[in-house]
Chains A and B, each alone.
Chain A
Amino acid sequence: MADDEKAVVSRRKFMSTSVAVAAGAVAANQMLFPDALHAVSTPTKWDREADVVIVGTGYSGLAAAIEAFDAGSSVIVLEKAPIIGGNSIIASGGYNAVDPERQKKQGIEDSTDQHFRHTIAGGDYRADPEKVRYMVENALDGVHWLEKLGVQFEPTVYTIVGSLFPRSHDPINHGRGGAIIKVLKAQVDKRKIPILLNTKLTGIVREKPLAGAVQGVEVESRGKKLYFKAKRAVILATGGFGADVKMRSKYDPRLDAEVPTTNVPTATGEGITYAEDEGADVIGMDFIQLLIACNYYTKHYGSIMNLGVDHAVFVNLKGERFVSEDARRDVMAAGVLAQPKKVLLWVADDRCGKRFDEATTAEILKDGYSFKADTLEELAKILKEKFDMPPETFLATIKKYNEDVKKGEDTQFHKQLTNLKPIEKGPFFASPTQAGVHHTMGGLRTKGTTGQVLDREGNLIPKLYAAGEITGGVHGTNRLGGNATTDCIVNGRACGKNAAAEKPWA
């Protein structure tokens, strides 16, 4: 191995002026990322090979790995971090799917048409309807597939924040995204599919610059460059770029380093850049979602943000509501950014409090990052002390809200009836929360529902697939809460199957 790596690997770095000028779009890219432009041509020697090489170990990557393997392909999965899971392993794990079996028991009327409409309208009609239709139609099959693999969901669905409707499936025992990743990982291990950690994508190998099929990937592992041949296809499942300040502020200059993020530090989007270096097209890159999920004190961990929105209100530091708690995520983020100190208090009663893992809640309370009191009056006292919130305003707000609940109409902000539940059962919780960069809706442009990556002229880049947050077009301007898990599982599976059906090259 050591000797192999010392072998001189001849590859074209594609930095020569003549080639870059010939490809105008690439030349433009080179100006933006002068050090990063990196198209890689066939190496003289491949270090390893598999039918399908998958980059990333979140929901999409692992789902693709299982499906590709089950369709008869050999698979290698690459992960740049020393652990698997990316954003998925820390996600809430809410999975949106129309599920008559569960919803009927709760008296919830739903349909895939409605899920489609919510998604399309929630993204300001900027998502690709074909992609949305495919996601909502295959969502339930994804739930059943996960259940068959061993994921257990709660017997009831709920409205995860920003999902607009109670169709979010919740892994049991507060297992969250980690529970889904754990099961997928066990299934990957069962199939003896290797996951190579600390192995960072540094380029995509394509036959010729901007032409021909993708042949594999270039990676860096412990300081060494390696080349992995993909006989059937490469699947990019590398996630978004929410944690990359340079990249996100290129597309939305407001999202500078002062804006926190809910993402893992490895969500840096270079998978998109390397695909662009091979000619890939991107769409919707400035559709970047902020979610009210970052703790006011830590700017990260510490908010009890999975409380749900039914037995809950959001109040600003003046003690007033300012937005409907079941609004779109972008509406809520914009709302909180307009409030004093850009902070909201997520105030909930015990029925919401129980949604969050009790032990973790206890520790967050001990840290002093969120608060709990037996009565609303005591909670008001804490909020006065911590934030100088006028107790009388706060208590009047809750009173008014509860009266509206009784009336069956939110006269102020028009929270949906299904989510309009009283705040009356102690103990009560308050969690100071801010908006942080959460999801990048834009990304690689793919063909229809195949997951195949397209170039700037709308042509296929043969043997290059993408699934999950790295892709664009699935969500439009604003992603519904709980739709990302669905997107990743549904499209990850599709990519795995489609990649395995490609003809291998010699």
Chain B
Amino acid sequence: MKLGTNPLITVAVLCLALSAVASTKSSGAQGRVDACASCHPDFSSVLPKGHPEVKKTGAGTCVSCHALGPAEDVRKNAFSTRIHLAHTGPKLGLECTACHTYVPGKSFGLIGQSTSWGAPKDEDMAAIKEKFASWQKSSHTDHLHAQAMVDCSGCHGKETPLLDATVENARCLVCHGPQEKLAARSALKEFPKRNPHNSHMGEMSCTVCHQAHFDSKVYCLDCHDFKMKIPGAAQ
């Protein structure tokens, strides 16, 4: 599934949290020549077990194998997910600009790399920061996707989603489908008619129940008192 891209708002949706103070927006990049090497002069210490030997240093080394920037297609991205979870998690809590370059409305890239993935504005970055925090650590479906190595672009694609963006069923079904398989998985032996993925309501959006960045809620329960659970529900 291809999403249209608008160069003005296209941005790497995987950026890290940003400082709200304009003057410090790109200060993290100052005086640093490489997103990785400045903190990890020796890569071998941070590589996962079983990773092939890496002789060089610098972000360029990683991206020669690992895809750089957000993907248009639906896929898991273990590299991006792991690296973002590790660097922004409670241990380190780094800001976006620890690794990324960012000039509001002009560019967004990686320190030491010339690529720019778009030109997010301040409000785009604020929104990304908020949703990213939820993806990083929350009880919502977004964090469940993080645990399954799916980053923002896995659902939203290359384009920066607007705050009221939704995800179409087709995109969900790339991983969770086809619909029949999904329905078979949620079918209850005792109550075969009581299947949220094959109900008397006919075709409906996944997002009626499954919310990525908010509490998910079983819509059936508005009328029925079934015992049904949904991942990402209110805690």
Contact = CB atoms under 8 A, between A and B. Distances in A.
A178 B207 contact: no
B205 interface: yes
Contacts of A366: 190-191
Nearest to B220: A301
B223 A178 contact: no
B200 interface: yes
Contact of B224 (A89, A181, A185, A301): A301
Given A90-B200, A264-B223, A83 B193 contact: no
A363 B204 contact: no
B162 to A, nearest CB: 6
A360 B201 contact: no
A82 B202 contact: no
Nearest to A300: B223
B194 A363 contact: yes
B223 A83 contact: no
B223 A301 contact: yes
Contacts of B194: 363
Contact of B201 (A89, A222, A298, A359): A89
Contacts of A8: none
A166 interface: no
B193 A363 contact: yes
Interface in A331-389: 357, 359-360, 363, 366
Contacts of A85: 201-202
A432 B222 CA distance: 21
Contacts of B53: none
Contacts of A221: 164
Contacts of A363: 190-194
A224 interface: yes
Contacts of A264: 222-223
A86 to B, nearest CB: 11
Contacts of B191: 363, 366
Contacts of A300: 223-225
A283 to B, nearest CB: 30
A506 interface: no
A22 interface: no
A82 B223 contact: no
A197 B205 contact: yes
A7 interface: no
A182 B203 CA distance: 9
Nearest to B162: A2
Contacts of B225: 298, 300-301
B185 to A, nearest CB: 19
Nearest to B192: A359
B83 interface: no
Contacts of A222: 164
Contacts of A107: none
Interface residues of B, number: 19
B66 to A, nearest CB: 33
A359 B202 contact: no
Nearest to A185: B202
A448 interface: no
B20 interface: no
Contact of B204 (A2, A82, A223, A359): A82
Contacts of B224: 298, 300-301
A265 B202 CA distance: 18
Interface in A3-33: none
A150 to B, nearest CB: 14
Nearest to A182: B202
Contacts of A83: 201, 204-205, 208, 219
A181 B190 contact: no
Contact of B202 (A2, A89, A223): A89
Nearest to B188: A363
A300 B205 CA distance: 25
A179 to B, nearest CB: 9
Interface in B191-235: 191-194, 200-202, 204-205, 207-208, 219, 222-225
Contacts of A176: 200
A12 B164 CA distance: 27
Contacts of A90: 200, 223
B89 to A, nearest CB: 31
B170 to A, nearest CB: 15
A87 to B, nearest CB: 11
A181 B204 CA distance: 13
Interface in B151-176: 162, 164
Nearest to B200: A178
The CB with the most chain A CB atoms within 10 A, among B162, B164, B224, is that of B164
B193 A359 contact: yes
Contacts of A185: 202
Nearest to B224: A301
A178 B219 contact: no
Contacts of B207: 82
A178 B223 CA distance: 15
Nearest to A265: B222
A89 B207 CA distance: 19
A478 to B, nearest CB: 25
A363 B191 CA distance: 6
A178 B201 contact: yes
Nearest to A361: B193
B141 to A, nearest CB: 16
Contact of B219 (A82, A298, A359): A82
A175 B224 CA distance: 19
A366 B193 CA distance: 12
B192, B194, B222, B223: residue with the most chain A Cβ atoms closer than 10 Å: B223
Contacts of B205: 82-83, 197
B55 to A, nearest CB: 47
> Which 5 A-B pairs have CB atoms at the shortest separation, nearest pair first?
A222-B164, A82-B208, A83-B204, A359-B193, A363-B191
9 contacts: A83-B201, A83-B205, A89-B201, A89-B202, A90-B223, A181-B202, A298-B225, A301-B223, A359-B192
Given A176-B200, A178-B202, 20 more contacts: A2-B162, A82-B205, A83-B201, A83-B204, A83-B219, A85-B201, A89-B201, A178-B201, A181-B202, A182-B202, A197-B205, A221-B164, A223-B164, A224-B164, A264-B222, A264-B223, A300-B224, A300-B225, A360-B193, A363-B192
